Amino acid sequence: MRRVRRPRSLADLGIVATGAVAPAARQRVVPLPAQVRILGLDPGSLRTGYAVVETRAGEVRYLVSGAIRTRGESFTDRLREIFIAVDQLTAEFRPDEVAIESVFMHRNADSALKLGQARGAALSATFALRPRVFEYAPREVKLAVVGTGAAEKEQVQLMVKRLLNIAGPLGADAADALAIALCHAHSRRLRAVTAALAGAAR
């Protein structure tokens, strides 16, 4: 597992809303805590991407990422492998929040059904810790990380590596999971700023 010790600020890289917030607004209660550990999940019946990052005061630190590759002969066996692997990840890294891609329509009904079940297996494995769960559409993730909802996978991989200062190769599944985690880090930061501004306007 690759670990990078040089966190980068999302604000410094231009993907977080900027602007001064009045001191009084900073003292207001925001919807989500500022310091959290986020588990990003990109489920699939054959490969499930995962990523863990920490966010603190606008800084995002990379902890780990990779892919769970199932080898079971039956689909049920593969679902069990996904559940067990995510359960182990959750027990080791103890995320406060989980970010996962939302359900979307698929051209192939059988593929959509399998994807939904893999998603359920991965998500259910996190419930023991009662994390807050957030869902994001694929276009929303690409927009947050690359700047366009029509970005290609290669663009997502490149931007994820740049944003988190990751050296060396990064698999597509791990990159997608990291993109989901970064999208959530970006989104929750915007929520906090919006809440602070709304509080200041009252």
- Known catalytic residues? 42, 101, 173
Strands (E), 122-185: 132-136
| 8 A C-beta contact, residue 114 and residue 122 | no
User: What's the rounded Cα separation, in Å, for the pair 179 and 166?
Assistant: 13
Give the whole-angstrom CA distance, residue 190 versus residue 194: 6
Helix (H, G, I), strand (E, B) or coil at 123: helix
Neighbours of 169 (CB within 10 A): 10
Residue type for 42, please?
A: D
Query: What is the rounded CA–CA span in Å between residue 141 and residue 96?
Result: 20
Both tokens of residue 80? 């069990």
